[in-house]
Every structure is written in C-alpha cells, then in structure tokens.
C-alpha cells in the first residue's frame, strides 16, 4: 500500500527535518540570487530567505512554532557564533587599540543617534508609548533589546521584530549610505554598521572583509552595553522634562 | 574542528552560567565572547583550528538570523497597525546611526593621523 501524498505531508510537517531543510534551501537559493545579481544590497540574502519562508509557511498554513521546531538547530548556532567573534577581534586587536578614542566617541554618538532618532520619529508620527519603548533598543542584538524593552514597559517580542527590521534595513542601506559619504576605510564602515545594525549588519560586514567584520562585531557588542545603560537614563531624563 | 567547536560551546556555557548567577543584563554568549577574547590575549596566540572554525561559522552568520527573522510573521498584525511610524523610525534612524557613527569616527581618525604625521595610517 503506497501512502498518499497527504499522509507524507502530515508526517513531514510534524518532523523537525522539514523546517531545518527549508531554512538551508531558502538561504542558499537567496544567496545564489544575491550572487547572480552582483551582490546588489537590495537583494540581501537574509531578507530574501525570510520572505521566501514566510510565503511558504503562509501558503501551506504551517505555524511558526512548527517551523521553528526544525529551524531552532540553525538558530542555536547564534550562541557559539557570537563567542566566535572573539577570534577576529583578537586578530584585529592591534588596530583596535590604536583607535580607542575614535571608537569610543563614535560609539557614543552612534548609539545616541539610533535611540533618539528612532523614538523621536515614531513619536512625531503618533506611535503609541508601548511602541516607542519597544523601539528605543532597536539597534542592539535581540536578547539585550528584549531585556531593555521588558524592563521599561515595552513589548519584548515587538522589540525583537523591530531589531530584525533594523538589521535587515541597515544591511540593505549600509553600502549606499557609506558610499554616499565617501567612507572607504573598512574598519570605519564595519564599526558603523555594527553599531546601527547589530548582528545582521555584522554578518553583512563579514561578507566584505575580516577587518570590517571584526570592527562590526566590536560595534555590536559595545553598543549592546552602552544602549542598556543609555536607554533607561534617557527615559528618566525625558519623563523629568 | 571538533575541539574548536567545543571551546566555543564551553565559553558560551561559562557565559550563560555567569549571567544566570550574577543576574547580568547581558546575554551569556556576549560574556563568552569577552572571556574567550581575554583568554586569547593571555595566551598570546591563536590555534589554527580555532581560527578556521570561527571563520567558517562567521562566514555563514547571515544564515543564523533567518529563523528568528521568520518570526516577524507572528507579529504581522501588530506591526501593520502602526506600520508608518515603525517603518519610518527604523529605516531613517538606522541610516542616521550608520552615517553619524562613520562620520564621527572618520573625523577623529583624520585628526589623529594629522597629529601623528600620518604614521600608521589606516
């Protein structure tokens, strides 16, 4: 007796194999397109892969939870990958040491810009207070952003979505913004992208060069710490005024 | 490669444990990153397998964000309710943050190169 196609589907959709395989296929298809388009930033592979997967899940009526059962194996690697950032950081340490002051000042300026402009623009356009509080930490890596949003009264899962939007839009725009400003140094480019667009920006920087990636990783890590301190401080200041 | 992967996981584990017990507002892997970095500085050298494994994982860092990114679909209705302020704020502010960080750093590096007579350079 041969199983019907619907039986096979019932089996597959309950197994983690499908979510995991789909994630790898979607990403590689997206990367192939990105490569074929001459690495056009608009065809960012993370963005494309997400769009493909959301479309596939929506069309097949598969829930995110079911998909994540399989995709979690990829997601899990974010932890060791973050630890692995220590390696390029170590290799670029001599360069970084010499640039301590420019790095520190740029970090503070970039971090403040990200927080104040995001909240300011959304406030002008009439966003609710919960949304504003969830927007404040949008430029930092997801677990830190969720923690900050939760502490302030925002919505952690909304913060996670905003972090994603920030990372993807930053990766798409970075080349245009930096080329427009005629910034050529890979260290400067990487650091700016890491501050503004955290891990997704850092991943993008690693596709350009190890130097850009190392500076981006540093920017991402430091901005996580600075934002965690700045946002509560700015909130107190804002309520006081 | 297996040894190098184990090193990464051990440092992540130490990071998670420290964060849990010290109630730090920082994710465990970030502490793991700092500890591994300190370890490498103390050791003064980097084993080749660790370098290769780290580079291998980091080359595919983009892929690792895909599963979390697909999670946006769950919040589609919340985002679509306030889509204009949310999209305008994230996109404009991210571009501004990239521009400001890069311009400030470049300006300070130029100033420093001038003071150092350009030695070292960039």
- Structure ipTM: 0.89
Whether B70 and B55 share a structural domain: no
pLDDT value for A141: 86
Whole-number Å distance between alpha carbons of A222 and A123: 27
Say whether both B19 and B47 belong to one domain. yes
| Shortest alpha-carbon distance between residue B22 and chain A (Å) | 15
Q: Which residues of B touch A202 (CB under 8 A)?
A: 61
Nearest residue to A84 via CA among B102, B6, B82: B6
Q: Is B29–A106 a contact, with Cβ atoms under 8 angstroms apart?
A: no
Q: Are residues B80 and B55 in the same domain?
A: no
Number of domains in chain B: 2
Together in a domain, B102 and B117? yes
Please indicate, yes or no, whether residues B36 and B90 belong to a single structural domain of this protein. Answer: no
A 32-61 near B (Cβ less than 8 A)? 45-46, 49-50, 53-54, 57-58
Q: Are residues B118 and B79 in the same domain?
A: yes
Q: What is the pLDDT of residue B122?
A: 41
Under 8 Å CB-to-CB from A76, ≥6 apart: which residues?
none
Of B59, B81, B98, the domain-final residue: B59
CA B85/CA A124 separation, integer angstroms: 8
Point out the residues of chain B with pLDDT beneath 50.
Answer: 117-122
Residue B79 shares a structural domain with residue B31: no
Q: Are B92 and B72 within one domain?
A: yes
pLDDT in tens, chain A (241 residues): 566 777 877 777 778 899 999 999 999 999 999 999 998 888 999 999 999 999 999 999 999 999 999 999 999 998 999 899 999 989 988 888 899 999 999 999 999 999 999 999 999 999 999 999 999 999 998 888 988 888 888 888 889 889 999 999 999 999 999 999 999 999 999 999 999 999 999 999 999 998 999 999 999 988 988 998 899 889 888 888 7
Q: Which residue has the tokens 């404009």?
A: B92
- Which residue in chain B has the smallest CA separation from A176? B95
CB under 8 Å to A145, separation ≥6 — which residues?
A137, A138, A159, A160, A162, A163, A227
Last residue of a domain, one of B59, B83, B102: B59
Q: Provide the domain limits for residue B70.
A: 66-122
Rounded (5°) CA angle A39-B63-A139: 85
Q: Which of residues 78-107 of B touch A (CB under 8 A)?
A: 78-79, 82, 84-106
Residue with tokens 């960039």: B122
Of B40, B97, B122, the CB nearest to A195: B97
Closest chain B residue by Cα to residue A71? B67
According to the model, what pLDDT value does residue B113 have?
A: 65
Across the interface, whether the CB atoms of B12 and A79 are under 8 A apart is answered yes
Looking at the structure, do residues B77 and B112 belong to the same domain, yes or no? yes
Q: Is the dihedral of CA A146, A87, A114, A207 positive or negative?
A: negative
B84 and B55 in a single domain? The answer is no
B77 class by beta-carbon count within 10 Å (0-12 exposed, 13-18 middle, 19+ buried): exposed
Query: What per-residue confidence (pLDDT) applies to A203?
Result: 93
Measure A2 CA to nearest chain B CA, in Å. Answer: 34
Which of B51, B95, B120 has its CB closest to that of A87? B51
What is the reported pTM? Answer: 0.86
């Amino acid at each position: 007796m041969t199983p019907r196609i619907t039986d096979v589907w019932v089996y597959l959709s309950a197994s983690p194999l499908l979510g995991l395989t789909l994630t790898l296929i979607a990403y590689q298809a997206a990367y192939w397109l990105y490569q074929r388009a001459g690495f056009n930033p608009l065809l960012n592979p993370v963005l494309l892969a997400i769009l493909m997967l959301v479309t596939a899940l929506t069309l097949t009526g598969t829930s995110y939870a079911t998909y994540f059962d399989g995709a979690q194996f990829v997601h899990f690697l974010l932890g060791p990958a973050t630890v692995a950032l220590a390696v390029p950081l170590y290799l670029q340490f001599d360069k970084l040491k010499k640039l301590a002051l420019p790095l520190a000042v740029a970090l503070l300026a970039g971090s403040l810009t990200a927080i104040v402009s995001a909240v300011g623009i959304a406030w002008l356009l009439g966003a609710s207070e919960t949304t504003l509080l969830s927007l404040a930490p949008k430029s930092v890596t997801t677990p830190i952003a969720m923690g900050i949003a939760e502490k302030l009264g925002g919505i952690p899962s909304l913060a996670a979505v905003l972090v994603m939007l920030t990372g993807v839009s930053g990766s798409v725009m970075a080349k245009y913004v930096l080329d427009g400003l005629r910034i050529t140094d890979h260290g400067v480019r990487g650091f700016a992208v890491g501050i503004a667009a955290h891990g997704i920006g850092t991943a993008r920087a690693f596709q350009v060069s190890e130097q850009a990636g190392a500076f981006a990783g540093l920017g991402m890590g430091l901005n996580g710490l600075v934002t965690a301190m700045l946002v509560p401080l700015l909130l107190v200041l804002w309520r006081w005024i | 490669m297996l040894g190098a992967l184990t090193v990464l996981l051990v440092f992540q584990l130490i990071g998670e444990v420290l964060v849990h017990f010290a109630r730090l507002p920082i994710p465990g892997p970030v502490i793991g990153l700092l500890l591994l970095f300190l370890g490498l500085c103390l050791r003064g050298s980097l084993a080749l397998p660790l370098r290769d494994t780290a580079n291998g994982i980091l080359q595919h860092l983009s892929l690792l964000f895909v599963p979390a990114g697909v999670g946006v679909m769950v919040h589609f209705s919340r985002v679509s309710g306030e889509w204009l302020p949310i999209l305008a704020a994230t996109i404009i502010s991210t571009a501004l943050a990239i521009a400001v960080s890069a311009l400030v750093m470049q300006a300070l590096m130029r100033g420093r190169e001038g003071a150092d007579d350009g030695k070292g350079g960039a």
